Amino acid sequence: MSDGINLEHQVSELFRLKMEEFVKWCEENWTVTPEEAMRDKIFDQKPPGYREGYNAAMENLSGAFDCWMEEQNDRSS
């Protein structure tokens, strides 16, 4: 077997890349504009600022993912 093959690292790297793509997609597609919130009645029952907080969560998924990956790396070390 070749010394250059590290399947565990390659799978981890592929997972990281695909999750970064997913996070970016969420940030771009799951934020809610004021117009969308007015059309979507789900926000009618929410407290003031809910949409802004929801959007902040979507816009900061990359930071959350980075922290999670760091924690996973620390656990496996």
What are the tens digits of pLDDT across the range 31-73? 999 999 889 888 888 999 999 999 999 999 999 999 999 998 8
CA distance 9 to 75: 15
pLDDT score, position 76? 80
pLDDT score, position 41? 83
- Of the candidates 71, 64, 35, 29, which has an alpha carbon nearest to the alpha carbon of residue 51? 35
Predicted TM-score (pTM) of the model is 0.73
Amino acid at 73: N
